[in-house]
Amino acid sequence: MGVEKVRDTEVQVYAAINNQLPELDSSQWDRINRAEIYIETGRIVFAGCTDYFPDATRIEVDPGLYDVVIGYKDLESISADGLDGEDSYHIYLAKVPDAMPND
pLDDT digits (tens, 9 = 90+) for 17-42: 999 999 999 999 999 999 999 999 99
The partner residues of 45 in beta bridges, in order of sequence, read 58
Alpha-carbon separation of residue 103 from 38, 100 (angstroms): 11, 9
97 contacts 57 by C-beta, under 8 angstroms: no
Say what the pTM is: 0.84
Q: What integer is the mean pLDDT of 4-11?
A: 79
Residue 11 pLDDT > 60, yes or no? yes
Residue 101 pLDDT > 70, yes or no? no
Burial classification of residue 73, based on how many CB atoms lie within 10 Å of its CB (0-12 exposed, 13-18 middle, 19 or more buried) = middle
Helix (H, G, I), strand (E, B) or coil at 55: helix
In the DSSP assignment, the letter for residue 40 is S
